[in-house]
Amino acid sequence: MDIKEIEKFLKFNQIKPSHHRLKIYEYLVKNKNHPTVDLIYKELVDEIPTLSKTTVYNTLNLFVEKGAVQLITIDESENRYDADMSIHGHFKCKHCGKVYDFPVKFSAMDMGGLQNFQVEENHIYLKGLCNECQIKKEV
């Protein structure tokens, strides 16, 4: 996804593509880490020295509101963001803190008990030890 496509995508989602907005969305697309506001700010402030953390908050809230980005509440104290809007699961390693994506067969989640509930968002969060961290511990 190059900058022209990002611009199109934002416009399509009723978001005026300002320079900061382009850069923040680009960051999310290029780094499929599931960053916090603080991380996004720290990573971009060198390239955009005038960037304010408030702008990062404002921009991400706008993206979520417009449905361009999803809010991930896998952490208990900090919100994370993901440009991948497809239904997929997240695994957070309790040791290294990394958040991994994994595919989800969604048909399986049939919500047996809840008839006539209208689902708008799906969040599937697992926590434990990632492959790499297990190997390190075994040594």
Partner DNA sequence: TAAATATATTGTAGTGATTACAAATCGAAA
Partner DNA sequence: TTTCGATTTGTAATCACTACAATATATTTA
Of 78, 84, 94, 97, the one binding Mn ion (CB under 5 A) is 84
Residue 38's binding partner among a copy of itself, Zn ion, DNA, none (Cβ under 5 to 8 angstroms by kind) is DNA
Of 4, 16, 47, 117, the one binding a copy of itself (CB under 8 A) is 117
Closer residue to a copy of itself in complex, CB, 18/134: 134
Choose the binding region for DNA from 11-19, 26-34, 99-107, 130-138 (rule: CB under 7 A).
Answer: 11-19
For residues 70 and 92, what is the distance between their CA atoms, to the nearest angstrom?
A: 16
Cβ neighbours for 133, distance < 8 A, ≥ 6 positions apart: 93, 95, 96
For residues 53 and 40, what is the distance between their CA atoms, to the nearest angstrom?
A: 9
